[in-house]
Amino acid sequence: MATRSRCSLRSAVARLVLERPADVRLLEKGLSVGEALAAFNAAHERAGAIASFLGKVRPGEDVKALELTHYEPLTLPGMEALAEQALERFALDGVLAWHRVGTMQPGEGIVLVAAAARHRRAAFDAVDFLMDHLKSAAWFWKRERRGNHSDGGWHWIEPRDDDHAALARWTGDET
């Protein structure tokens, strides 16, 4: 994963300028929610509604760390294509989809999705649509380190049936 291109990993920087209408990023470290949403809000000043969703590493359940790996040639282009689908499908001013990769601790943010629209329904629906697709159709592989010892084992996470069921909600009039 060495090539630097538009697919390069980027990290959040101060005075964010977002790409419009879709700002899609893979982040190697940190996911600054407040900064992202402030910049998103500023980028879509004509929107009447902004909905957002933050997915986090679930605390408890004996999970000590979560590692997300991706495949650079597919993962970011796939997320960009998904953002385009959302823009076509819903009446939106813009979307934001930021995803962490690498190792995270319980409580840390993994994914932030936001949608700006004239009216709330399109914003809510677009965020729901984006998350259902990111959860089951994006190129990410996840494993958890469990146990109380530093040598606790890593376990790969299998796709969940309810994630696929969630995705199926959107496939009635497409694919």
Among 73, 120, 165, 169, binds another protein (CB under 8 A): 73
Q: Which of 111, 114, 115, 116 binds another protein (CB under 8 A)?
A: 111
**In the block, which residue shows the tokens 């259902």?**
132
Query: CB of residue 14 vs another protein: minimum separation in angstroms?
Result: 26
Q: What are phi and psi of 14, to 5 degrees?
A: -65, 155
Select from 86, 95, 96, 99 the one that contacts another protein (CB under 8 A).
99
The angle subtended at Cα 32 by Cα 17 and Cα 159, nearest 5°, is 110
Is residue 96 within the footprint of another protein (CB under 8 A)? no
And the tokens for 48? Answer: 């009447």
Provide, rounded to whole angstroms, the least separation between the CB of residue 71 and another protein. 5
Paired tokens of 11: 């990290």
Task: With CB under 8 A as the rule, give the number of residues binding another protein.
Answer: 26
From the CB of 51, what's the least distance to another protein, in Å?
18
Q: Is 103 in the site for another protein (CB under 8 A)?
A: no
Task: At 41, give phi and psi (nearest 5°).
Answer: -60, -45
- 106 is a contact residue toward another protein (CB under 8 A): no
Closest CA to 46 of 86, 93, 12: 93
Q: What distances in angstroms separate CA 107 from CA 32, 55, 94, 168, one per listed residue? A: 13, 9, 27, 29
Q: Distances in Å between the alpha carbon of 60 and those of 5, 57, 64, 106?
A: 38, 9, 8, 8
Among 17, 42, 81, 157, binds another protein (CB under 8 A): 157
Q: What residues between 12 and 71 interact with another protein by CB under 8 A?
A: 55, 68-69, 71
Q: Residues in the site for another protein, rule: CB under 8 A?
A: 55, 68-69, 71, 73-74, 77, 99, 110-111, 134-143, 156-160, 163
